[in-house]
A and B are shown apart, each in its own frame.
Chain A
Amino acid sequence: MQRLLAPGLALLFFVVLASGFLVIIGQPPVATMLDLAVYAFGDAYSISESLVKATPILFCALAVILPARLGLISVGADGQLYLGALVGTGVVLAMPGAPILVLLPAMLVGGAIGGAGLALVAGGLRARFGVNETITTLLLNYVAVLLVNFVVYGPWKDPANLGWPATIPFPDGATVPGLFGTRAHAGLILAVLIAVVLHIVFARGRVGLRLRVLRDNERVGRMAGLSFAHMVLLTMGIGGAIAGIAGIIETSAIQGRLQPGISLGYGLTGFLVAWLSGHSFLRAIPLAILIGGLIAAGDTLQLFAKVPASSVTVLLGLLFASMLAAAGIARKRAGAG
């Protein structure tokens, strides 16, 4: 019963709050919510669109969870995603004719390096000078987005686009393969794989324990021969690499070229998923798919029900608030019992 308390309460809160909101904007609440569920997971096409949205969210959640295991609060997944897309695209532009077995891995490595590089700016400042990583990752997001704008409006703009800010379309050798002929792609498999590997490494290996010791008592960690600075660089670097991969995969598989607006707030959504999962790599997987489904369903809903686009963002916010409140209540009850 206790285990079902939090999800049950979350559902209850969400239904009540969402109904209220839908009534206010003049939509039938029950029908609209049923539509949402159908548009999210009702048929093969809906499911594939939900998985498309879930993929970058899951990557970004993993990029947040990793530093969070050391007690760091990184809100820079979006920026890391953009810089990953930038560097990965650079690799593609440098050797567009290379065979897929060379180009695809090289592109992914480029994306990882880009994301890690940006994350390490914040990580290095934290490790060396104790600068708050939340502030630096937040601000570096703008830097990364504007850098992408700079290259697609400037040096990397494809003249054939007639002024449209985007690079040349990616060649086949730089296209992440799709799944079952849908828009869902191999990136999802990679994200799940990374989540499972991280889970195993943390459950079986020593690194999880090391991070926990440093997070809870850095003095004792020092005594044990651990270096907080080192672990900051490690977790921020790998986290950034994961977000960077999300960026280049999104660019390659979904957009097909580098252009502004790669991310629909995936970084922040990933941050919330990370938080809701209780910083668990495994729990982030279903949560990312659920949230991805809601976002995808929102697009469809907007098309058919004439609901304004921003209303889906409102529903998403209500869902997050409901889940956080339910988790808080469940924790309090567990503490009292």
Chain B
Amino acid sequence: MTAPPLIRLKGVTKRFRDLVANDAIDLDIAAGEVVALLGENGAGKSTLMKLAYGYLLPDAGSIEVDGRPQTIHSPRDAMALGIGMVFQQFSLLPALSVLENLLLAWPRAGRWRSGAEDEAAMEGLRDLAPEIAPGTRVRNLAVGERQLVELAKVLNLDARLVILDEPTSVLTPQEAARLHRLVRGLADQGRSVVIITHKLADVRACADRVAVMRRGKLVDAAAIGDRTNDQLVEAMVGKSVARRGRPAHRRLGPPRLMLRDLCCGGIQPARNVDLEVRRGEILGIAGVAGNGQWALAETVAGLVPPESGEVLLDGESVARRSERKAFSSPVAYIPEEPIRNAVVGSLDLAGNLALRSLATSAPLPDPAAAAARLEAFDVRPPEPGRRAATLSGGNLQKLVAARELGEHPAAIVACYPTMGLDVHATEAILGRLVDHASAGAAVLWIGEEIDDLLAIADRIAVIHDGRIVADLLPGATNAAEIGRYMAGGQSRAA
């Protein structure tokens, strides 16, 4: 007789009004096994795991742990059964320090703080990311760093099953590789891991088994060796997606967006950045998260004033001059995490589209025009009166694109614009950037996927520790070389 699986989902179903998010899913996860739960955004992966974690309750079906039926009413129940989950966001308290966040979830917490306990709580994180200081407030961490803190928090719980929700979407290749090694290490200790992902690289790097979901159904489950990448992609998207090839060579014009000896302050500053983006050019910036990209993007987009240096668009300064005075930059800006950085969740879609004209006396677009714009950018549902907070991340990002790219901007800053988006949404956003470059815009694209940068950018600059350390042509470089620069292996001067 074989041992029962650590957790067995039987016929698990979850509906949100008319939408069947999980349709009678059967899935076993054995002890010591790494399962990749693969699927596009909205396929129901996160929902399924939230059911296992007690964050949501199933409408039908049952869950067995160690062969015994269990009703998991809450994350507390799940943790008692040894199930832990790392969310993409929301579960850290930004105002508290890293150490305080870890202590909040520290299972063996005594009544009083002790130095030994602080040390023990930090130990897991030290293995993951020794560079994160315990006293740093979480709100000052980059997104990638927050995720590592989240992971350390769950590992501190000694969970037998660790669920990771899109863990590598904010990590660099090196960080992702570290995570993959860590996941294998957990499996070697006899723990089970579920990685929710839409990236084949994650599946190949560390999974024993892959389960593919599409539109709420489990469409495939197999040992990793039994499936090719093509088979997995087909299972995931249902039809073959032609990866956008390198676009036809664009004619590059004179320099349009110029950064002159730009220094940007902040927690992770950028120093002495000199870059030119020509008319029609897409300049990709590769770098490990937290190396000054954010400060650079916010400064070029006119959200924060530079410490020194200049941002020029067609020869005219477009840098913010004052921290407090009102200023609206003509540079279009598509940041990561739209709900935090680019939209007002409580406002309707029409209001969010009109944000840029809010400070002026320009007429606001009428609902029909707003609806047409939403259709054009494939925002679903294209209802101008709907509250923005009810949209999914991918659709919010399309909403931001509809606002920022609707008026033919001369320059575009995109900072991790495809973070967490599925294949279709990613292609749509990147396609827009290419179209605007072709129409003469200067595009500064701070990217996360080296493969995407190599495939689409005309030039790739690498940022490390706030400085541009390399300026490369995609045809004359490769991922390995970029990765070395990203890690600070050698500088241009050396």
Residues of A participating in the B interface, judged by any CB pair closer than 8 Å? 127-128, 206, 209-210, 212-213, 216-217, 219-220, 222-230
Contacts and interface: CB of A to CB of B under 8 A. Distances in A.
Contacts of A223: 301-303, 328-329, 333, 342, 355-356
A128 to B, nearest CB: 8
A179 to B, nearest CB: 39
B324 A213 contact: no
B326 interface: yes
B358 interface: yes
B329 to A, nearest CB: 8
A213 B345 contact: no
A213 B327 CA distance: 15
Given A127-B324, A209-B351, A219-B303, A226 B358 contact: yes
Q: Which of B301, B329, B346, B358 has the most CB of A within 10 A?
A: B358
Contacts of A210: 358-359
A227 B326 contact: yes
Contact of B358 (A127, A209, A227, A228): A209
Contact of B345 (A217, A225, A227, A230): A217
Given A212-B344, A212-B347, A216-B346, A224 B303 contact: no
A206 B333 CA distance: 23
Contacts of B345: 216-217
B341 A219 contact: yes
B325 A227 contact: yes
B257 to A, nearest CB: 17
A226 B341 contact: no
Given A223-B303, A224-B356, 14 more contacts: A127-B324, A209-B358, A210-B358, A213-B344, A213-B355, A213-B358, A219-B341, A220-B344, A223-B329, A223-B356, A226-B358, A227-B326, A228-B324, A229-B324
B2 interface: no
Interface in B336-360: 340-347, 351, 355-356, 358-360
Contacts of B340: 217, 219
Which 5 residue pairs are nearest across A and B when measured between Cβ atoms?
A225-B328, A225-B359, A227-B326, A229-B324, A224-B355
11 contacts: A210-B359, A213-B358, A217-B343, A223-B329, A223-B333, A224-B358, A224-B359, A225-B358, A227-B324, A227-B325, A227-B326
Contact of A224 (B328, B346, B364): B328
Contacts of B361: 206
A226 B359 contact: yes
A227 B361 CA distance: 16
Contacts of B364: 206
Nearest to B303: A222
A165 B422 CA distance: 75
Interface residues of B, number: 26
A220 B343 contact: yes
B344 A225 contact: no
Contacts of B324: 127-128, 227-230
A27 B290 CA distance: 69
Contacts of A206: 358, 361, 364
A212 B347 CA distance: 8
A7 to B, nearest CB: 26
A230 B326 contact: yes
Interface string B281-304: 000000000000000000001110
Nearest to A224: B355
Q: Which of A223, A224, A228 has the most CB of B within 10 A?
A: A223
A230 B340 CA distance: 22
Nearest to B326: A227
Contacts of B355: 213, 220, 223-224
Contacts of A213: 344, 347, 351, 355, 358
A58 B340 CA distance: 36
Contacts of B358: 206, 209-210, 213, 224-226
B387 to A, nearest CB: 11
A220 B326 contact: no
A225 B333 contact: no
Q: Which of B302, B303, B325, B355 has the most CB of A within 10 A?
A: B355
A212 B358 CA distance: 11
A226 B346 contact: no
A124 B341 CA distance: 26
Contact of A225 (B326, B342, B346, B347): B326
Interface in B293-339: 301-303, 324-329, 333
B356 to A, nearest CB: 6
Nearest to B298: A219
Given A212-B347, A213-B347, A220 B342 contact: yes
A33 B355 CA distance: 52
Nearest to B351: A209
A206 B351 CA distance: 11
B352 to A, nearest CB: 8
A217 B347 CA distance: 10
Contact of A226 (B326, B329, B342): B326
A212 B356 contact: no
Contacts of A219: 303, 340-341
Interface in B61-111: none
A209 B350 CA distance: 12
Contacts of B325: 227, 229-230
B344 to A, nearest CB: 5
Contact of B356 (A209, A216, A225, A230): A225
Nearest to A214: B344
A143 B329 CA distance: 42
A223 B351 CA distance: 14
Contacts of B359: 210, 224-226
Contacts of B328: 223-225
A219 B301 CA distance: 12
Contacts of B341: 219-220
Q: Which of B326, B342, B345, B356 has the most CB of A within 10 A?
A: B326
Q: Which of B340, B347, B361 has the most CB of A within 10 A?
A: B347
A219 B139 CA distance: 14
Contacts of B343: 217, 220
Nearest to B338: A220
Contacts of B346: 212, 216
Nearest to B404: A223
Contacts of A228: 324
Interface in B246-303: 301-303
B303 A225 contact: no
Contacts of B326: 225-227, 230
Contacts of A227: 324-327
A54 to B, nearest CB: 32
A305 to B, nearest CB: 48
B298 to A, nearest CB: 9
B124 to A, nearest CB: 32
Contacts of B329: 223
A222 B326 CA distance: 7
A317 to B, nearest CB: 32
Q: Which of A220, A222, A225, A226 has the most CB of B within 10 A?
A: A220
Nearest to B327: A225
A226 B326 CA distance: 5
Contacts of B303: 219, 222-223
A216 B358 CA distance: 15
